[in-house]
């Protein structure tokens, strides 16, 4: 087994965590490159094909702490993954609800605009008729309004302008008339 100062430099520039876990391939590759350069520089006549890091363990006094750190990192990753899962479950649902509410609001807006435009068109048509025949139009509006309002009124008392008092009570409610029949 060939040991070199270059390999020590590469490992020495890293954290223990990198050497033991995530940085192994990078360390092996960088050490191979440096050792090949040294071999060529000093014309050693050897060719280095591969560098492997073997038996990489933290020192005995820190082994337990290192294991605890690894467990904490795994727990952290687990919690991050759970949070991402929850995020991916909740956020699309909320965005869907938001989109639905926006569409409902747009529909309501269109409905209100169309109703307002219809009201304007009816008013303009009524105005055109009023300009042609004001008294007839006024009378028609009055009658139409009474047709809408009167069905909702429970008691009806008719007052004539020419009489000085109230006309005798006239029962205009059809349901009451049916009750009074023998």
pLDDT at 182: 46
Q: Are residues 73 and 46 in the same domain?
A: no
Query: Is residue 176 scored above 60 in pLDDT?
Result: no
Q: Are residues 45 and 111 in the same domain?
A: no
Q: Are residues 64 and 28 in the same domain?
A: no
Q: 81 lies in which domain range?
A: 58-132
pLDDT bin (cut points 50, 70, 90) of residue 164 is: low
User: Residue 55, by phi and psi: left (phi above 0), alpha (psi -120 to 50) or beta?
Assistant: left
Q: Say whether pTM exceeds 0.85.
A: no
pLDDT at 5: 53
Q: Are 147 and 128 in contact (CB under 8 A)?
A: no
Q: Are residues 50 and 75 in the same domain?
A: no
Provide the number of structural domains found in the chain: 2
Contacts of 81 (CB under 8 A, 6+ apart): none
């Amino acid at each position: 087994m060939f040991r070199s100062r270059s390999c020590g430099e590469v490992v020495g520039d890293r954290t223990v965590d990198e050497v033991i876990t995530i940085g192994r391939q990078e360390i092996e590759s960088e050490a191979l490159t440096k050792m090949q350069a040294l071999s060529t520089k000093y014309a050693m006549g050897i060719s280095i094909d591969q560098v492997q890091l073997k038996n990489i363990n933290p020192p005995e006094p820190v082994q337990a702490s290192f294991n605890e750190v690894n467990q904490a990192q795994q727990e952290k990753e687990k919690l991050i993954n759970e949070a991402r899962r929850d995020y991916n479950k909740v956020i699309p649902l909320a965005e869907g609800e938001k989109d639905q509410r926006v569409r409902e609001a747009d529909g309501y807006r269109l409905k209100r605009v169309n109703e307002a435009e219809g009201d304007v068109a009816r008013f303009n048509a009524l105005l055109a008729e009023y300009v042609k025949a004001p008294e007839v139009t006024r009378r028609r509006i009055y009658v139409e309004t009474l047709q809408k309002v009167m069905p909702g009124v429970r008691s009806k008392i008719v007052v004539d302008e020419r009489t000085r008092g109230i006309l005798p009570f006239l029962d205009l409610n059809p349901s009451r008339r049916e009750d009074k029949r023998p």
